[in-house]
Structure 1
Amino acid sequence: MKQSYVIEIDGVFVGAAAFYGDSYRFVGVDARLKALDGQRFADLSQVREAAGRTYRLAPLASRMKTSTIATLAA
């Protein structure tokens, strides 16, 4: 690995893109991006586009943090 890049969507840290050889591998830390975790992309802009699209299309319930849900239920 030569370099890694923080991936933020709407100000939220959702993962990192790590450059390996000839591609960028996405390492996700947000559950909404589980489907992208480990995928490889030709360039950094593709990682950001895929992460943004996936993050923004996630169902509303999955966007809420567990603590927020617990607060709403109380």
Structure 2
Amino acid sequence: MDRQVRLAAGTLVLTGLIVGPRWNAARWLSAGVAGGLVFSALTNTCGIAKILAKLPHNQPKATDLDDPLTALTG
């Protein structure tokens, strides 16, 4: 999850900096993400991680323990 958060935050900041010279409001995107990272460090919470956790590929998969236990016990 940490890697996904760093990728999302870095992408948003870089996008804000690249688009900023043409559209000044985009710089607020970078400032908002930076503020969110500071808040995250101070409170030990992460809004981006909460959003990313809801994505389908971050959901836990249901596991059936009967097959591995049968394989291990023979």
TM over 0.5: no
Coarse TM-score class (shorter-chain normalised): 0.3 to 0.5
Higher relative contact order (CA 8 A, sep 6+): 2
TM-score w.r.t. structure 1 length? 0.33
Greater share of residues in strand? 1
Greater share of residues in helix? 2
